[in-house]
Structure 1
Amino acid sequence: MGPPAGGFDWLRQYEESKETSTSDFARCSWGVFVLLVMVLMTFLAFYSYHHIWDRRQAEQARRAGKNMRAHDFAVKVVRYFMPSIQIEKHRFHGLKEKSEPMDIRFESLGLDLHSGTTVLSGVTGEFKAGKCCAIMGPSGAGKTTFMNALCGKAWYGTTTGKVFINGQEASIADFKPCVGFVPQDDIVHESLTVDEQIFAAAKLRGEPGTTDKDAKRVTEDVLQILQINHIRNSVVGSVEHRGISGGQRKRVNIGLELAADPTVLFLDEPTSGLDSTSSLTIIESLKKLGELGMTSIMVIHQPRYSLFTLFDEGPSLGAVPYFKRLGFDIPATENPADWLMDLISGEIRSKTMPNFEPSMLFDLWEQNKNTVAPASMLSPHGERPWTESDDTSALQNLLEAEWRKIDLDKSGFLEIEELRQLIKQCTGAEPQEEILQELLQTMCDAGAESPFRSNTNQDALKGKDKELAVSRQRFISYLCSMQATARHSNTFNDNSSDSGSESDSDEEALRAGLRGGLNRQSQGICSQYMMINHRQLVLWWRKNAQRALFLGVVAFAAVLLACMASSLTSIGLATCDLWYGPTPVWLPDPYLNLQTALALMQTVYCLGIFGDDKNDKNVFWRESASGMSVLAFFVSRVTLNTVDLVMQSFVFSALYFMILQPQILFGNFFLPFLLVSFVAAGAGYFISSILPRA
C-alpha cells in the first residue's frame, strides 16, 4: 500500500537518507571504534599494573618484617654482652616538643541527658601536662561519659561545671587542632596501607604549610613508636579481606591521632581486645610521648600490674600501701589493678571500717592524701654515672674480647653458620636462614665494604667464593651503632651539607615553636581538598576489579539493548542491516529505554561513593569531628567519580552507536547520555549519604 494522498513517504525518505549517509557514518564509526579500543586498552593496562603493584607491596611488607626480626635479634645480642646498656628505641624526627603544654583542670563536671536524667555530676580533678593518666573504674561507672563530657563530645546531653585550660576557663573543643581523640572502635580506612593512612593524617591535620617532608618525618615517628614499621606497606583489610592483625589495627587507630601531633590525646579503651603484651607496648609508647609534653588521658579496663605502674597520676605505686593502711588486705597472688577495681566497687571489706561504702573513699582521700609518698620515693632509680660514649667503648671492648669465640673458623669474618650459633647462644632461639642473611646483609650495607669476602680477603676464602660474611670491624661497629647517640634529639639528619643542615635546623626550630603552641591553625579548604583528593585517588585505584566488573555489565547492557532496538535475530548479526519493517525514526521508545537503563546502572554504581565499606561513614564522622572540611570531602569524592561516569557513559553509548548505526553525529548522540548519567549520579549520592550500607 502506498503512502496516503498528499502525505509523505517516510519509508522512501528513510532509504534515501541511509544511502547518502553511509560514507559519513563509516568515517564517524571508525573514529568511535578507535577511541573505544583506546579506552578499554588503557583500563586493561591500569588493571594489570595494579596486580603488579599488589605483588610489590606484599614483597615490601615481607622484607620489612624480615628486617624487623633481624633487628630484634641484633638488639638481643647487644644486651646479652652488656645488659646494662641503654638502647634507645625512639628518636623523634617529626613529632616536636610542645612549646606550650596543656594543663586541664575541671570543677563539678557533670552531664544531664536531654531527657532530664543526670548521668554524671560533681567530678573535680586535674590532668597535668606531659603525664600519662588512666580513668579506671568498674563497668557502668561512667568513665567514657566523663571523658566525652570533658572533651566536648557529649552531644547527647548538656555539660555542666567548669573546665580550665592552663588556668583559664575554656572548652577543650576550642583547641580542636591540638586535641586528638581515639575512639574505642578501630575506625580506619580498610583499603589503604598503614603508611598511606598515617601519612594522609599527618598531611591533612598538620598546620598550614606542612610539607611532604614534614609529614614523612611524622609518619616515621608514629610507625616506629607504635612498632608497626614492618607492616607499613600492608593494606589494613577487613573481616572479608584479611589484612593486618587486630592488635596492629588498634595501633593504626591510635597512630591516626598521633600523626596530628596533638598536645592532648584522649583514648577510649585503647587496650580492649588486646593481649597483655600488646597493651603494654601501646602504653609504653604513649608514656614515651610524654617527653614531648603530650598528655595522654585514657579509659582503661583491667590492666596488668606492669602496665598499671606506668601511669603518672596517683601515684600508682603508692595505691596498694595506701589502701593497706586503711585496713584492706590484698592476696599475695592478686593483680593489684584488679584488686583496686573490686575495692572501689565495694566488694572488698576493710578490717578497720566495718561499715565501709565506696562513697566514703572521697572523704578518706581528703584526710589521708598527704600521707602518700611521692612517686620518686616509691620507685627510686639511680642514674648510671656513665655517658653513652662510655657504653659504646665498653661494648666495643667486650666484643673485641669475645671475637675469637665468635669467629669459629678463624677466618676473620662472621659467616651465616657462626651468626646462627651466636644468636642461639644469646637468645636461645634459632632464626631462619633468610633472617640470618638479612642481618648479615644489613651489617655489610651499613659500611663501605663489600658483602662478599672474595673482594676483601682472598687468602681467607678456602674455596668459599661469594659466601655472605662480615668482617670483625663491621660486626662490632654495627652493634655499637645501635646505641642511641642522641637520646632526646628532635633534629633530623638528612646527610645534607653543613649550610643546608644549619638552614634546616633553623627552619625546624621555628616550625617546632609554631606547632607546639595552643593557637595552631587547621588546613584551609583548598589544601584539604588536595590531600583528600590524593587519598581518594589511591582508593579509586584500588577499586579496579569492581570497576572492571561494572564496566562489563554496562557493555553487555549496551549490546543487548542495541540488538533489541534494531530487531536483530542474533548478536552475531549486529553489524548487518536487517529491518523488519519501516519503523518511524522519531519514535522515542528505544532511546527512552536506553537512557532509563543507563540511569539505573549509574545510580546503583554511585551508591558506594559515600558508603563504600562499613567503616566509610564512621571514618568521615571521625575526620570531620577533627576539623576536616565537609565541602572538601564531598568535592573530592565527586571529582574522581566523574571520571567513572564519563568512561561508563562513553562505553555504553559508543557500543550502542556502533551497533544501531543512527544517522547522527556521535557527539550529539553521546551528550544526552552523559547528562543523564550526571542526574542519576546525584540520586545515587543522595541515597548513599542518608541510608546505611546493607
Structure 2
Amino acid sequence: MSHFPGGASSSQWLRSYEAGPYSMDKAHFLGISVLLVVVLVGPFLALYCFHKRWDLRQAKQARMAGKSMQAQDFAVKVARYFMPSIRIEKHRFHGLTAKSEPMDIRFESLGLELPNGTTVLSGVTGEFKAGTCCAIMGPSGAGKTTFMNALCGKAFYGKPTGKVFINEREASIADFRPCVGFVPQDDIVHECLTVGEQIQSAALLRGEPWTTSKRAKRITEDVLQILQINHIRNTVVGSVEHRGISGGQRKRVNIGLELAADPTVLFLDEPTSGLDSTSSLTIIESLKKLGELGMTSIMVIHQPRYKLFTLFDEVLLLGKGGRTVYQGPSQGAVPYFQRLGFEIPATENPADWLMDLISGEVRSKIFPQVGTHPADWLFEAWEQNKAQVGSYFSIPRNLWTQQDDRTVLANLVEAEWHQIDVDESGFLSLDELTRLIRQCTGAEPKKNIVQQLLVAMLEVAGRDPDRDGVSREDFIGYLCSMQVAASRADILQLQDTSSSSESGIDVETFVMEATCCTPTGLIREARGFGSHLFVLSHRQLVLWWRKNSERALFLAVVAFAAVLLASMDKYICPTPLWMPDPYLNLHTALALMQTVYCLGLFGDDKQVFWRESASGVSVLAFFISRVVLNTVDLVMQTFVFVALYFMMLQPHVHFGRFFLPFLLVSFVAAGAGYFISSILPVQHGPFVASLVAFVSCGLMGHPMRVIQMMDGGMLEAVMDVISIARWSVGMSFLLIVEDQGLPPIDSIQGQQRLELEVMIPVYKDRGMWQGHGYWNSGILWLLGMAVVLHSAAFLGLKFTSRTKQI
C-alpha cells in the first residue's frame, strides 16, 4: 500500500506541488530594497540627530559650569585681596548632603577563619568615628584587605568571628547597603561612557527613590569638583586600545562612582595604588573634605608619604597574622612607638619607618630582650598600652573662628568701600565690580563672567537677580559665605547658579526638593526596578550609539556572508531552494554569527555588572535594558542577511514568511550567546559558542540526521529540544515547496526526487508534538527555546559569581 495521501504514487503526489500560487513582482522587490535602505540608514540617522542635540546640550552645560567656576574663582581672589589669611572653602556642596545620622563603627575581636582552619585575622578591636578619614596599614600578609572585607561583610571566603556595632547597636554593615559605598582596588568603570555620564548615572541608580535628575546633576557637580575632574567631564574614559583619560583620573572616577551614591560610610581598597604622591594627596584631601558632611572614609593604603599619612584622623596598624599593633590618631603613632623605645632617624619617612618597625626590622632600646624580631611582642605591648594612647597625642584647638574672619573681612571692606563704590550710589555696579576684579587679580574679566558673579551675589543675599548692583552688606555676605563649612543651611542657600538658570527652578522649589532628599537615617530606601530600568536603558542607549563602528563592521560581515552564500547557491554550486540543504547552511551560519555577537553583551563588562549588583542595582533591570536594545541589532542584522540573499535568489514567496524562520533562529542563537556569556569567562565564549552552533544546527539539524533520529522516542525528543535547525529548516524548506511549488517533476534529478519523497512527509507530518502543523509548531518550539535560553541567561547572571555580587 502506498504511504502517500490517497494511495497515490510518488510521482503523482509530488506533481501536486508543481504549481506555486505566489510569484514575486517588481513592486515586492522594490519594497524590500527600500526597506533594506531604511533599516540600515533610518535608526542611525535618527540617533545621529539625537546625539548632536545631546552634544550641544552638554557643551552648553559645560560652558555654564565653566562660567560659574570662573566667577567663583574671581570671588575667592577678591576675598583674599582684602584678607590674605581668610580660610575659604575650596569645595562647595550643592547636591551631597550632610548626614542626619552619621555612622560610628566599633568592632570587637574581629577575626576570620578559612575553611581549612587557618586564622588570617585575629581579634582586631577598635573604633572608627563618624566623619573621620581612617587608614588601615601594615606589611604584606598582615590581613588589611581581609579585615576590611570582614568588617563590611564581604569576606565570603571564610568564617568571620567577633562583633560589629553600628552607633552602639550590634549589627552588620551589610544591613545598611544603600548608605555604604565600596571602592574596589581595580578601576571598574564603563570604558565607553564619559566621566560625567558615569557619575550621573550612578547618582540616579543608587540615589533614594525621590532623587530627581536635577539633584543628580548637582551631586555630579559636587563629585567632579571635589575629585578635581571637572575638566574631563565630557571625555570618554577609554581603554588600553582606545586611549581616554589618564590612570590617575581613572582612579578618581572609580571613587566618584561611589561618592555619587552619597554614602554615609565609604570603604576603599588601596585607592592610591599606582598613583604618584601628588595624585594620592589629592584623593585623600578630597575624601577628608567629605568628612564635613559626616561621611566616614575607611581605606587600605600602602606606605604613603608622611604628609599624606598625617591627613588621616585615625590609623589601624596591623602586624603579620592580622593582629593589632596600633589604633588611634595618625600623628600619635610615632610618639606611641617612641615611648616603647624605638628611635626614628631624622631623615626617615615616618610612614616607612612604621612599616619597617611592624615587620620586625627595628629594635627597641628600652626592651632589648625582645630580640631582633619584636613583631610578636608588639601585639602584647598594644594590649597593655592601648588604654593610654589618647594621652600620647592631642590635636591643638584653633581658637580663631569663622566669625572672627567675617568680622575682620567686614571691617576691611567697609574701610575701602568708598574706593570700590566709585559713584557713591551705595550699590556695586557691573562696571565697578569689573574694575575691582581687575585691581585684585590683574586680569581682565569677561563681561558675562562678571555678570554671573553679580547674579550669584544677589541670589545668596536672596534679592532680585535683575537688580543692577549689590549693596555693601550683600557683597560682604557673599565673600564670607565662601568660608562657611558644608551644612544643611549651606546646601539650601548656595545652589548651583548654572543649574538654576538653565532649569528655571525657583528657590522655593529648590528648598522643597532639598528637604525631601535629605536622608532621615541609616535605613535608606533604595530605588526600585522601574527607576533602575529607566536609567539603565538610557545609559545602554548611549553605549549602543558609541559602538556604531563595531556595529557597522559586523553588519558588513553579515552582508558579506549573505552575498557569499547566495553566490554559492546560485552560481558556484547551484542548489535549488526547494531542497533543505541551502537553509541548513544559512541557518547554521546565522546562528553562529548571532551567538558570537551576543557573547559581548554580558561578557565584555561583567565586572561592572558585579559592582553594580553588589551595590543593589536590579539584576532584572540590567538584563532587560541590555537585551531589549540588543534585539534591535539582532533584527537589523537578520534583515540584512535575509534581504540580500532573498534579492539575489529571488524565490517566489512572500518575504515576510521567508524572513520569519531566520528571525526565530536569531532569537534562539542570541539566547544561547547570552547564557554562555553569563556563566563562562569571556575567553572561553567563542569556542563554546561555535560548538553550540555546530551541534544544534549543523550536526543535529542535518536533514539526514533528522530522518534517522525521528523515531518517536527519546532520540527524537532530545533532537527537538536542543536542535534549532530541526525546526527552522523544515519551515523554510516546506514554505518554498508549498508556496513557490516544485519545477516539473520530470526535470528533477532522480536522487533529489527520492529525497523529496522522504523529507516532505518527515518534516511535515511525522514529528512528535507537531499537532499544530509544521509552521505553527516550528514557531512555538523556536519561541519556547528562545524564552528558555533567555531565562537561563538571566538566572546565570543573577546566581553565578554570587560572591562577587556581595
Q: CA deviation at 1:155?
A: 1.0
Q: Report the counterpart of residue 32 of structure 1 in structure 2.
A: 32
Q: Report the counterpart of residue 129 of structure 1 in structure 2.
A: 130
Q: Report the counterpart of residue 481 of structure 2 in structure 1.
A: 484
- The residue identity in structure 2 corresponding to 1:561 is L
Q: Structure 1 residues 377 and 562 mapped into 2: Cα distance closer, same or farther (>3 Å)?
A: closer
Residues 532-547 of structure 1 mapped to structure 2, 5 A cutoff: 532-547=536-551
* Structure 2 residues not aligned, in runs of 5+: 1-8, 315-327, 423-430, 456-467, 684-806
For residues 6 and 598 of structure 1, the distance between their equivalents in structure 2, rounded to whole angstroms, comes to 34
Q: CA deviation at 1:391?
A: 2.5
- The residue identity in structure 2 corresponding to 1:237 is G
For residues 293 and 529 of structure 2, the distance between their equivalents in structure 1, rounded to whole angstroms, comes to 29
Pair 1:509-2:498 in alignment: no
Q: Structure 1 residues 250 and 667 mapped into 2: Cα distance closer, same or farther (>3 Å)?
A: same
Q: Secondary structure at the match of 1:355?
A: helix
Deviations 1:57-107 (A, max 9, x none): 997899799876997688567646632122222222222222222211111
- The residue identity in structure 2 corresponding to 1:344 is I
8 Å contact kept, 1:152–1:171: yes
User: Which segment is superposed worse, 528-537 or 559-568?
Assistant: 559-568
Q: CA deviation at 1:666?
A: 1.2
Q: Structure 1 residues 603 and 384 mapped into 2: Cα distance closer, same or farther (>3 Å)?
A: closer
- The residue identity in structure 1 corresponding to 2:259 is L
8 Å contact kept, 2:106–2:165: yes
Deviations 1:569-604 (A, max 9, x none): 9xxxxxxxxxx7xx7652111122112111111111
For residues 97 and 240 of structure 1, the distance between their equivalents in structure 2, rounded to whole angstroms, comes to 41
Q: Report the counterpart of residue 367 of structure 2 in structure 1.
A: 353
8 Å contact kept, 2:210–2:517: no
User: Which segment is superposed worse, 44-53 or 83-92?
Assistant: 44-53
TM norm structure 2: 0.70
- The residue identity in structure 1 corresponding to 2:582 is P
Q: Structure 1 residues 243 and 141 mapped into 2: Cα distance closer, same or farther (>3 Å)?
A: same
Q: Report the counterpart of residue 593 of structure 2 in structure 1.
A: 601
User: Which segment is superposed worse, 312-321 or 226-235?
Assistant: 312-321
For residues 310 and 153 of structure 2, the distance between their equivalents in structure 1, rounded to whole angstroms, comes to 29
Deviations 1:633-676 (A, max 9, x none): 11221111111111111111112222211111111011111100
Q: Report the counterpart of residue 152 of structure 2 in structure 1.
A: 151
Q: Structure 1 residues 376 and 556 mapped into 2: Cα distance closer, same or farther (>3 Å)?
A: same
For residues 70 and 62 of structure 1, the distance between their equivalents in structure 2, rounded to whole angstroms, comes to 14
8 Å contact kept, 2:81–2:440: no
- The residue identity in structure 2 corresponding to 1:559 is V
Pair 1:666-2:684 in alignment: no
For residues 513 and 432 of structure 2, the distance between their equivalents in structure 1, rounded to whole angstroms, comes to 45
CA RMSD of aligned residues (A): 3.9
Residue 561 (structure 2) aligned to one of 529, 534, 557: 557
Q: Report the counterpart of residue 139 of structure 1 in structure 2.
A: 140
Residues 462-477 of structure 1 mapped to structure 2, 5 A cutoff: none
- The residue identity in structure 2 corresponding to 1:443 is V
For residues 478 and 693 of structure 1, the distance between their equivalents in structure 2, rounded to whole angstroms, comes to 60
Q: Structure 1 residues 670 and 257 mapped into 2: Cα distance closer, same or farther (>3 Å)?
A: same
Q: Structure 1 residues 149 and 217 mapped into 2: Cα distance closer, same or farther (>3 Å)?
A: same
Residues 242-257 of structure 1 mapped to structure 2, 5 A cutoff: 242-257=243-258
How many residues align? The count is 627
8 Å contact kept, 1:57–1:233: no
Residue 443 (structure 1) aligned to one of 429, 445, 450: 450
Pair 1:101-2:105 in alignment: no
Q: Structure 1 residues 91 and 62 mapped into 2: Cα distance closer, same or farther (>3 Å)?
A: closer
Q: Report the counterpart of residue 634 of structure 1 in structure 2.
A: 623
- The residue identity in structure 1 corresponding to 2:667 is F
Q: Secondary structure at the match of 2:579?
A: coil
Q: Structure 1 residues 584 and 353 mapped into 2: Cα distance closer, same or farther (>3 Å)?
A: closer
Residues 312-331 of structure 1 mapped to structure 2, 5 A cutoff: 312-313=313-314, 314-331=328-345
Q: Report the counterpart of residue 682 of structure 2 in structure 1.
A: 693
Pair 1:620-2:609 in alignment: yes
Q: Structure 1 residues 342 and 75 mapped into 2: Cα distance closer, same or farther (>3 Å)?
A: farther
For residues 394 and 10 of structure 2, the distance between their equivalents in structure 1, rounded to whole angstroms, comes to 112
Q: Structure 1 residues 544 and 287 mapped into 2: Cα distance closer, same or farther (>3 Å)?
A: same
Q: Report the counterpart of residue 521 of structure 1 in structure 2.
A: 525
Deviations 1:324-361 (A, max 9, x none): 33322222222222222222222222221213423333
Pair 1:657-2:646 in alignment: yes
- The residue identity in structure 1 corresponding to 2:409 is D
For residues 88 and 535 of structure 2, the distance between their equivalents in structure 1, rounded to whole angstroms, comes to 37
Q: CA deviation at 1:382?
A: 3.3
- The residue identity in structure 2 corresponding to 1:598 is L
* Structure 1 residues not aligned, in runs of 5+: 405-411, 426-435, 449-470, 570-579
Q: CA deviation at 1:199?
A: 1.0
8 Å contact kept, 1:403–1:472: no
- The residue identity in structure 1 corresponding to 2:556 is G
Q: CA deviation at 1:27?
A: 2.1
User: Which segment is superposed worse, 617-626 or 331-340?
Assistant: 331-340
Q: Structure 1 residues 76 and 437 mapped into 2: Cα distance closer, same or farther (>3 Å)?
A: closer
For residues 239 and 482 of structure 1, the distance between their equivalents in structure 2, rounded to whole angstroms, comes to 45
For residues 445 and 677 of structure 2, the distance between their equivalents in structure 1, rounded to whole angstroms, comes to 48
8 Å contact kept, 1:25–1:661: no
For residues 98 and 554 of structure 1, the distance between their equivalents in structure 2, rounded to whole angstroms, comes to 55
8 Å contact kept, 1:607–1:688: yes
Q: Report the counterpart of residue 453 of structure 1 in structure 2.
A: none
For residues 552 and 389 of structure 1, the distance between their equivalents in structure 2, rounded to whole angstroms, comes to 72
Q: Report the counterpart of residue 644 of structure 1 in structure 2.
A: 633
Q: Structure 1 residues 534 and 52 mapped into 2: Cα distance closer, same or farther (>3 Å)?
A: closer
- The residue identity in structure 2 corresponding to 1:298 is M
User: Which segment is superposed worse, 313-322 or 25-34?
Assistant: 313-322
Q: Report the counterpart of residue 356 of structure 2 in structure 1.
A: 342
For residues 570 and 541 of structure 2, the distance between their equivalents in structure 1, rounded to whole angstroms, comes to 40
Pair 1:180-2:189 in alignment: no
Q: CA deviation at 1:444?
A: 5.2
Pair 1:370-2:402 in alignment: no
8 Å contact kept, 2:421–2:432: no
User: Which segment is superposed worse, 226-235 or 327-336?
Assistant: 327-336
8 Å contact kept, 1:71–1:439: no
- The residue identity in structure 1 corresponding to 2:401 is E
Q: Report the counterpart of residue 323 of structure 2 in structure 1.
A: none
Q: Structure 1 residues 55 and 290 mapped into 2: Cα distance closer, same or farther (>3 Å)?
A: closer
Q: CA deviation at 1:443?
A: 3.2
Residue 535 (structure 2) aligned to one of 521, 531, 538: 531
Q: Report the counterpart of residue 205 of structure 1 in structure 2.
A: 206
- The residue identity in structure 1 corresponding to 2:287 is L
For residues 44 and 526 of structure 2, the distance between their equivalents in structure 1, rounded to whole angstroms, comes to 40
Q: CA deviation at 1:43?
A: 4.4
Q: Structure 1 residues 86 and 472 mapped into 2: Cα distance closer, same or farther (>3 Å)?
A: farther
Q: Secondary structure at the match of 1:297?
A: strand
- The residue identity in structure 2 corresponding to 1:359 is D
Q: CA deviation at 1:685?
A: 1.0
Q: Secondary structure at the match of 2:599?
A: helix
8 Å contact kept, 2:71–2:450: no
Pair 1:298-2:299 in alignment: yes
8 Å contact kept, 1:102–1:129: yes
Q: CA deviation at 1:564?
A: 2.3
8 Å contact kept, 1:61–1:233: no
For residues 651 and 171 of structure 1, the distance between their equivalents in structure 2, rounded to whole angstroms, comes to 54
Q: Report the counterpart of residue 720 of structure 2 in structure 1.
A: none
For residues 243 and 65 of structure 1, the distance between their equivalents in structure 2, rounded to whole angstroms, comes to 22
For residues 130 and 626 of structure 1, the distance between their equivalents in structure 2, rounded to whole angstroms, comes to 21
For residues 603 and 355 of structure 1, the distance between their equivalents in structure 2, rounded to whole angstroms, comes to 69
Q: CA deviation at 1:321?
A: 2.9
Higher helix share: 2
Q: Structure 1 residues 212 and 66 mapped into 2: Cα distance closer, same or farther (>3 Å)?
A: closer
Deviations 1:471-527 (A, max 9, x none): 9999xx999966634433121537699995345424422431xx2411112222222
Q: CA deviation at 1:528?
A: 1.6
**Identical columns (%):** 64
8 Å contact kept, 2:433–2:450: no
For residues 138 and 283 of structure 1, the distance between their equivalents in structure 2, rounded to whole angstroms, comes to 20
